[in-house]
Structure 1
């Protein structure tokens, strides 16, 4: 762990002013090293108050700590400060044969892509951008509903750590107060020879504490925290993947249904270029949405998007 990361942890754990002398003594470094560490933290977007007679206090912001997360999760964690996309980072790692499960992190993404290859907004500070790569080695029919499971892990982790209740908009978006706060992108690779899904990459983007959205997104997107965050990004990341890796699939599917934003609501979707409207009546254990159309027929949506008619 770097010197500036150690200084960050001290300030974050202390929660109050800490003198440069005290930091130097705790870390067994020079006062000059402390000053350089503080400047590095500020260059990374953290707000630190400096008072001559009292020392330093962390006011806002945090650092992503791959070493801490690796220890918490028991898997390899890689941080890329210059990431174009954590999905791309994971694909590159997969091609190089890096070990899995493997979590790829970034503070920002310069060429982020969502579902249907759409561009999406990422903030230089205050976002969580990550992709988990693992090798399930199962047939397509045996493949668990990973998007459903991660969505449930996100809402459950947020609730456990903060008390904030979010909802899931089928199939891959997390909403807070009717605005999007997180999204998920799941990609899989199958082998023609074996018929098995060899690799899965689950990408997650969370608006953790983003101060400013583009004007076009201000009515559509929101952040988990608008004021000082009550938890760190590291804590939320660790909790999400702990839940995903340990809670049984059936329990996560149950959470997904309980936290659904669309069940029993009128929804609109497009099929073969035709817009259809109906009521979302159920979500299957595979994550498929069942919609009862206005003519009484039922449609099973396995992928795609729906719009809430009331919006």
Structure 2
């Protein structure tokens, strides 16, 4: 029986679930060019899933939930930076209730469990030919259970899993429905103060020595705090520095 996405249906979101796609984000960006209503694309497997800076996101069938919610610009009530933080909080709040493992949020858009990444989130703005914002696509890749095939060597020490038993399509789509709908609820009804408090309180980077890479520079320093705008503040040898975007790596 086809899953009906009851929570997303209540939000009037059109849904599509595919067995295999290249990337749900890339499909959503193409479809957003011709659609002016919000929609969601999910898949059992991605062959070209990717995260920030085009890093490949391993997306085997039967192992995770891979999905993208596309929102036309007129539907956005928060800034793009706040959307990314809200997407992380939505995943954290839903998954923390469904799984018993400890989950934390790693600035800016990952969830970790026991020092390994279990959720990747990628929010991308889609622009018109006139360089005006058309909308935003928000993609989640959630590692639900370890695949039966061996992991690529590069992921064996970095990828984690929320559960130990395999999942079926119904369970996968229940999680897709719950996370995406909770994200929409937070966008519409939650204050930025509440969202930020959750994001700050469950931050993975607390007390850690970090290397922040902005693309233009690399900065080493200790985690200090997350600002009221969702920026990362680190304490360097030359004083505090705040970063709006970038990638961050823990130094041992």
TM-score by length of 1: 0.70
Give structure 2 stretches of 5+ with no counterpart: none
**Aligned twin of 1:285:** 228
User: Taking structure 1 as reference, are residues 125 and 302 closer, same or farther at Cα in structure 2, changes over 3 Å only?
Assistant: same
**Aligned twin of 2:152:** 214
Q: Secondary structure at the match of 2:68?
A: strand
Q: Secondary structure at the match of 2:212?
A: strand
1:308 aligns to 2:250 (yes or no):
yes
1:188 deviation in Å?
0.7
Query: Which of 79, 85, 88 is the aligned partner of 2:23?
Result: 85
Q: Secondary structure at the match of 2:163?
A: coil
1:117 deviation in Å?
1.5
Give structure 1 stretches of 5+ with no counterpart: 7-64
Higher relative contact order (CA 8 A, sep 6+): 2
Counterparts of 1:141-156 in structure 2, within 5 Å, are: 142-143=79-80, 145-156=82-93
Q: Secondary structure at the match of 1:108?
A: strand
1:302 deviation in Å?
1.0
Compute the RMSD of aligned alpha carbons. 2.8
Q: Secondary structure at the match of 1:89?
A: helix
Indicate the structure (1 or 2) with the bigger Cα radius of gyration.
Answer: 1
**Cα displacement string for residues 118-149 of structure 1 (whole angstroms, at most 9, x for unaligned residues):** 22211122211100000233899954511111
CA–CA separation in structure 1 for the residues paired with 2:156 and 2:222: 28
How many pairs does the alignment contain? 245
In the TM superposition, structure 1's runs of 4+ consecutive aligned residues that sit over 6 Å from their partners are: 138-141
Query: Which of 51, 64, 81 is the aligned partner of 1:114?
Result: 51
Contact (CA 8 Å) 2:84, 2:108: kept in 1 or not? yes
Query: Which of 165, 179, 200 is the aligned partner of 1:227?
Result: 165
**Aligned twin of 2:136:** 200
Q: Secondary structure at the match of 1:78?
A: strand
**Cα displacement string for residues 167-209 of structure 1 (whole angstroms, at most 9, x for unaligned residues):** 111111111111111101110134696x963300001101112
Q: Secondary structure at the match of 2:111?
A: strand
1:91 deviation in Å?
1.4
TM-score by length of 2: 0.85
CA–CA separation in structure 2 for the residues paired with 1:141 and 1:174: 21
